[in-house]
Amino acid sequence: MTFKVSPIRAFKDNYIWMFAASDNKDVCIVDPGDADPVLSVLQSLDLCLSAIILTHHHADHIGGVKKLLEQFPHIPVYGPRSSKIDTVTHPLGDGDRLTLAGVEFSVLAVPGHTLDHIAYYAQLPASGIEESGSGVLFCGDTLFAGGCGRIFEGNPPMMYESLRKLASLPASTMVYCAHEYTRSNLRFALRVEADNPNSVERVRVVEAACSAGIPTVPSLMSMELRTNPFLRCHMVTVRSAVIESMAISSESSDTEVFAALRRWKDSFSG
């Protein structure tokens, strides 16, 4: 069995992820903020929706759930234990497990972007996924390709610990985030680490992909570890850049460096 993941574009820059065993017409959908593109894909490919999984309560991630349930009223909806999502039939928390499309997922609590945010991780055989990875991570708006989500409900220490949790997953993990922010994230990454050859090369590849209209995600965790400044707050190059640019103490902890880095990115317009 091959595990197949496909993107469905929504709004300006959202990705709704669809996954299934490659030999099966039953598919699962991740974070359907808009039902219409999902229904269009299901109809055009003659697929049947078998489950919905949610990472957090923001409207661009859950807004299409009720309309999908009108078409598929008996399917399970997996998501965080949250009073802000009334469509979840199977509430989940850190350490829970679920099996979908023949694959067992572990649930990871990753608060920061929102307090209820969770991610879904599955370890797969090396040949079990169509891309080159051996694991899959649906991480919503916590970790992005080249960046991380804004902190709306949590605080910097909370978000930093969530990112550290994700960074500890195997380097071969394919990272399926929910937005096409890679180009702007990497431009900021180069501002932080201008001499990082991995980032320079990644920018070249991403710029070409964006120009061709090709998705820049998923990414490999190994690439995130080499180029994503939010996963590199312990590195001298990142620390030095943040200390200088944000005028923080040279004795700042990695968490304090992260907090300043996030503030820097929030004001970045490059």
- Active site positions, annotated: 56, 58, 60-61, 113, 141, 179
Q: How many residues does the chain have?
A: 270
What 163-166 contacts at long range (C-beta under 8 Å, 24+ apart), as own/partner pairs, is: 163/110, 163/112, 163/230, 163/231, 163/258, 165/108, 165/110, 166/108, 166/110, 166/119, 166/137, 166/139, 166/142, 166/221
- Are 189 and 147 in contact, with CB atoms under 8 Å apart? yes
Who contacts 206 (Cβ-Cβ below 8 Å, separation ≥6)? 146, 182, 183, 186, 216
Residue type at position 15? Y
> What are the tokens at 61?
């991630």
Angle at 100 between CA 225 and CA 153, to 5 degrees: 50
Beta partners for 219? 175
> What are the tokens at 128?
């079990």
- Are 11 and 60 in contact, with CB atoms under 8 Å apart? yes
